[in-house]
């Protein structure tokens, strides 16, 4: 009799263990999927879109999938709060963040134009030594440096307006 009970308990435990593992597996798959979506969303740097009346109807038509992706992107912190120039987005955003919030490179938002311009000039001339910034700035002329400094100098204000 005792043997039967033990056998029954063992069988029940086995079934429970199998079910539990299956559930864990599902959970892991789900996490993996979320992780992949976040990774994908990081690949392209999304641009801020000004909400114009003509874009409103489009927004309503967004698929469920797109909405979810957007939420994930926001969570991943890659959504830009305001629009930036193509020059900045292409050359600088990857390291300094889409809104200058900093990543590999230091945070730029909140620093004034004069400071930024001086830093850029010093990097370009080699007075301030940084191999990455030096190489990058060789391709930009004085006008572009000035424009970038002006733009970055206005990031803090733009962020304020966007919030
Ligand atoms: C590959 C990464 C990378 C890219 C791309 C990049 N930077 Fe940098 N940037 C850095 C790093 C790293 C530093 C820190 C260097 C140091 O302080 O020695 C830096 C420093 C700076 C600083 C000085 C910040 C401070 O607080 O003194 C400014 C300004 C700056 N970058 C502007 C730009 C601009 C404008 C662009 C686009 C044209 C750009 N960076 C592109 C990596 C990058």
Taking the mean position of all CA atoms in its chain, how far away is CA 151? 20
CB 73, CB 41: distance < 8 Å: yes
pLDDT greater than 60 at residue 41: no
CB 136, CB 161: distance < 8 Å: no
Q: Please give the structure tokens belonging to residue 139.
A: 């391709």
Over residues 74-98, the pLDDT tens digits come to 555 557 889 999 999 999 999 999 9
119 CB within 6 A, ligand 1: yes
Q: Measuring from atom 39 of ligand 1, which residue has the nearest CA?
A: 92
**Alpha-helical regions (H) of 1-112:** 2-43, 56-60, 64-75, 86-91, 93-96
Domains belonging to the chain, first-starting first, are: 2-75 (no CATH), 86-162 (1.10.760.10)
User: What pLDDT is recorded for position 150?
Assistant: 97
Closest atom of ligand 1 to 137 CA is 38
Confidence bin at 156 (pLDDT 50/70/90): very high
**What does the alpha-carbon distance between residue 48 and residue 18 come to, in Å, rounded to a whole number?**
48
What pTM did the predictor assign? Answer: 0.62
The best mutation among 45, 101, 106, 137 to test binding of ligand 1, ranked by most ligand atoms within 8 Å of the C-beta, falls on: 106
């Amino acid at each position: 009799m005792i043997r039967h009970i033990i056998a029954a308990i063992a069988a029940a435990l086995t079934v429970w263990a199998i079910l539990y593992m299956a559930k864990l597996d599902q959970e892991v798959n789900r996490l993996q999927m979320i992780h992949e979506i976040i990774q994908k969303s990081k690949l392209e740097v999304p641009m801020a879109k000004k909400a114009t009346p003509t874009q409103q109807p489009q927004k309503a038509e967004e698929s469920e999938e797109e909405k979810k992706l957007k939420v994930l992107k926001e969570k991943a912190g890659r959504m830009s709060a305001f629009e930036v120039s193509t020059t900045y987005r292409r050359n600088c955003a990857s390291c300094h963040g889409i809104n200058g919030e900093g990543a590999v490179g230091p945070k730029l938002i909140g620093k004034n134009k004069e400071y930024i311009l001086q830093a850029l000039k010093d990097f370009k001339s080699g007075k301030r030594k940084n191999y990455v910034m030096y190489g990058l700035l060789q391709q930009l002329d004085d006008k572009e440096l000035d424009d970038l400094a002006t733009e970055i100098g206005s990031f803090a204000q733009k962020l304020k307006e966007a919030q």
